[in-house]
Structure 1
Amino acid sequence: MRLTVPVAKVLSALLAEPEAPRYGLDLMRLTGLSSGTLYPVLHRLQGAGWLAADWEDVDPVTAGRPARRYYRLTGEGIRSARLALAELRAVVPAERPGTDPAGAPAW
């Protein structure tokens, strides 16, 4: 998996609460990514086996909105995402603008 800034943002958002299912608009708000950037990232992560996706079981008429597609990291996704982000943090200089006091990138 090529770790681009959008991929790192999505992984960081998903790792914040790995068991919490997230839907697209929720992830767009958390990452600041547009739908045109977010959904291709989600598709790549799902294709790599890092992400599971399931449709919400809801009646759109009763809910007053379309069913949401929820995304959650798989066990392999959690392990791989943590490793990939740790490797990225190891190569990003701590003095670079946009990092927190501990030197972690502010994705």
Structure 2
Amino acid sequence: MEFPLGRYVRAAHGLGGAELVSKSDTPSENLSDGLTAETVYRFADGTVLRYALEQDEGNFDFSLGESACLPCEISYQVLQHPPHGKITPERKRFGDNCRRLFWLKMQKQD
């Protein structure tokens, strides 16, 4: 049986889906040009999912009031599948938070 990755990503961010058991944050690391962060989520069905974020702190020029979606590297990777199925895709990457939020919205199960 196949399960959509979006189901687990939505649950990881409190938007419903699979039953979340725990989450472990790796302390954020401030780099000279940005920061990195990682969180590992564990679900009741045995799934383990890693969320990673790398955000640059470059000089971005935009006016106040303009909507801006700054570039960053966001990824989700299945580290362990449930024993009774497979999650697809196993990995998803985004180049900014706007694309990630749009994808999450499209993953909503009615």
Superposition TM-score, scaled by structure 1 size: 0.27
User: Greater share of strand residues, 1 or 2?
Assistant: 2
User: Greater share of helix residues, 1 or 2?
Assistant: 1
Superposition TM-score, scaled by structure 2 size: 0.26
